[in-house]
Every structure is written in C-alpha cells, then in structure tokens.
Amino acid sequence: MKQNYIASAGLLLLRIAVGVMMIHHGQEKLADPQQFADTYVASLHLPFPLFFAYAAGLSELIGSWLLIFGVFTPLGALAITGTMAVAAYQHILTGGFNIYVLELVALYLGGSVSLLFIGPGLFSLDAALIRLLPAKAMQSASDDFDLAEDISNLAYVKIND
C-alpha cells in the first residue's frame, strides 16, 4: 500500500511539472497565433495553418490544466502528446536531429506519454471522482454501455440482412 502512495506522489509531481512547464507554451501560441502559424505550422505544409496554431495552443493550455488537476488526465495527456509529436516532427524536418532543439520536446512527449499509459495516480481529481461515485452509478453507466452495444449490434444485423 505504501508503494501506491509513493508511486502516486511521483505521478503527481510529473503531472504538475509537465503541466506547469507547458502552460506558457500554449499561452505564447495563443498570444500571437498568426506568427506561430507562419513560423512553424507553415513549414509542415498543412492546410489552414491558423486553425492548427489555435489547436496546438489550446491543446497545450487546456491539456496542462487537466494534467495539473488530474481531471480527465488521459484527455489532457493525449492533447499534449499529439502536439509534442507534431512538434518533434517539425523540429526534425526543419533542423534535423539537433539535440538542443529536440530535448525539451522529447521530455514533454515522454512525460505526457507516460501519464497517458500509467494514469494520474491516487492524488488526482480523477481518482477522487471514482472514489466518490457510488458503485451503483458505475454499474448504471456500464449497463447503459451494454444497451448501446446491443442496439448497435441489432442495427448491424438489420442492415446486413
């Protein structure tokens, strides 16, 4: 049991470190999204660079807060993971394997992927919500999912007959 608390404390520190350090990156992108779109997104030759500039900034900003508080942690970690994967690709594309450029992106990517796979730990709002929700509500949600699956299967059979 003591090991779970120690591991969860480590996950808390990782969530806070990645989240706090990532916030300003999102704020910078949203402060001047056109400049970010012209400087970074355009080099990827993506359509609608301004859209992707806003998407990157919002992913980093909102994802950071989700990680810090440990609420909807997989969603926040996925947002940051996606943005950092694109950032790593962009840095490799424009600068090659320059370690000074890639090391920070790699750290953010590694931290967010770790949180995506491991989860937020015991010291998170996700864990608190799970503890507070009564088992009956969890069972009800599971039953609703089973009902939706049954309806989906019924529709599939009807279409394929």
Q: Is pTM beyond 0.85 here?
A: no
Domain ranges of the chain: 2-123, 134-161
DSSP the chain: -HHHHHHHHHHHHHHHHHHHHHHHHHHHHHHSHHHHHHHTGGGGT-SSHHHHHHHHHHHHHHHHHHHHHTSSHHHHHHHHHHHHHHHHHHHHHHH-S-HHHHHHHHHHHHHHHHHHHH---SSSHHHHHHHHS-HHHHHHHHHHHHHHHHHHHHHHHHHH-
**Tens-place pLDDT, residues 71-91:** 999 999 999 999 999 999 998
Lowest-confidence segment of 39-43, 83-87, 116-120, 137-141 by average pLDDT: 137-141
